[in-house]
Amino acid sequence: MFVKGFNVFPREVEEVILTHQSVGMVGVVGAPDAHTGGERLVAFVVPRTGEKVNAAEIYAHCASRLVGYKCPTEVRVVAQLPVTGAQKVDRMALRRACVEQELTS
C-alpha cells in the first residue's frame, strides 16, 4: 500500500507492534484517507490474555521504532480479529470494517 507516496508493507508494521509486551495479535490494513486521497494505516490490536493496552501505548511504541509514515494513524483495540479458513488474519474483513466506518462517518 502507499502512504504519503511511500510503499508500506503491513507485515513490517505488524511485526513492530507484536514486540509490545501486551499485544497478542495484530492486523494492519490500509484504509482510504479522505484528506490525501491515498491511504492511511489502521492497526487492529488484540491484547494478550489478562493484559490491557491502549492506543497511545501503541502509537508511542511505533513512533520509537518506525519512520513517521509507517506509523498507524489509527489504532483500534479489539477483543478478536477475523481469521480466514487457514487461520490467518482476514485483512479483507478488516479493510471492509474501515471502509464501512468511513461511509457512516
Q: Total domain count for the chain?
A: 1
Q: Residue 37 is part of a domain; what is its CATH number?
A: 3.30.300.30
CA distances from 66 to 11, 30, 34, 76 (A): 13, 17, 24, 19
pLDDT for 71: 95
- pTM of structure: 0.91
Residue with the larger pLDDT of the pair 5 and 91: 91
Nearest to 57 by CA among 45, 69, 39: 45
Report the interhelical angle of 10-18 vs 55-63 (nearest 10°): 110
Per-residue cell: 44: 487492529
pLDDT band at 4 (very low <50, low <70, confident <90, very high): confident
Per-residue cell: 102: 468511513
**Residue 38 pLDDT > 70:** yes
Domain housing 54: 2-104
Per-residue cell: 28: 494492519
